[in-house]
Copies of this chain bind each other. A is one copy, B any other.
Amino acid sequence: MLSKNDLKTIARLTQKKYRLEMNRFLAEGGRLCEEAIKSGWTVERVIFCSSFLQSLRARQALQLAEEHGVPVEEVPSEVFVGLSDTMHSQGILAVVEKRAQDSEPIERMRGVPRCMWVGIEKLHDPGNMGTILRTADWLGVDGVVIGKDCVEVYNPKVVRASMGAIFHLPIYEVDDFVGTLRRFQNFSAVLYGADQSGDFSYSVLRYAPKKVLLLGDEVDGLSPEVGNLLQHRVSIPRRGGGESLNVAIAAAILLAEMSR
């Protein structure tokens, strides 16, 4: 059984500060618990609350945890609610250890003839971040670098919107975003910036075999420092109305084209 102290420690993982300090995070819902276990991440324990545990998927995840020897603990609903980040909880969450990637971005880019990366300079909305990661995973992106002014990858809303992509994709939160891009260029990667005022319509360009799509802030776009490095600024022409596209939507349209 979990002690009061254990529970207090786990509850701290709802805060970024303690996720950094403890090198752990929470993955909520049956699907995410399942993905964490199946993807071979270290799941420290699975916590559930039987009064919320309705869905088949959540019950299957619980069973999977037991089969994999993950410690499983039941908690009362008032405790679970304090850990949960959702309105309609599935009643299950996993405490997951963060995992270092087995090689640096540069190592992954060196020597490969083709690859497609995403670079996210600044992004504040966790739903957008998670959705971009989910889309990148589906479309076969080889890696993602994330600047330090972005919402944290292990934020519960990012984890949830990613639908488990964080467990598959090589994701790097880097301190020196611009320096990383420069090193990418040293290995022949071509940098494309998503920019609605860009010179090129996304569908007329021929994309290089090694390429990085750069995404900036929802409002201000990419910084001048990143802008200076770009080989191309790519836009999605407006054929109807509106002021802009959502950044995750723009990323999806561009990545789908770049992955053809």
- The reply on A165 being an interface residue by CB < 8 A is yes
A9: chain B residues within 8 A (beta carbon)? none
Assembled-state Cα–Cα distance A253/B138 (Å): 12
* Set of chain B residues within 8 Å of A244, measured between Cβ atoms: 138, 163
Contact pick for A252, options B134, B239, B252, B260, CB 8 Å: B252
Flag if B240 contacts A168 (CB, 8 Å): yes
**Is the pair B165, A242 in contact by a Cβ cutoff of 8 Å?**
yes
Which residue of A131, A169, A240, A245 has the most chain B CB atoms within 10 A of its CB atom?
A240
Q: How far is the CA of A260 from the CA of B201 in the complex (A)?
A: 11
Which residues does chain B contribute within 8 Å of A90, judged by CB atoms?
none
Known: A253-B253, A256-B256. A134 touches B242 (CB 8 A): yes
Do the beta carbons of B239 and A139 come within 8 Å of each other?
yes
Give per-residue flags for A97-130: 1 if the beta carbon is below 8 A from chain B beta carbons, else 0. Answer: 0000000000000000000000000000001000
26 contacts between A and B (CB under 8 A): A127-B127, A134-B242, A134-B245, A134-B246, A134-B249, A136-B240, A138-B236, A138-B238, A138-B242, A138-B244, A138-B245, A139-B239, A163-B242, A163-B244, A164-B242, A165-B241, A165-B242, A168-B240, A168-B242, A203-B260, A236-B256, A239-B259, A245-B252, A249-B252, A252-B252, A252-B253
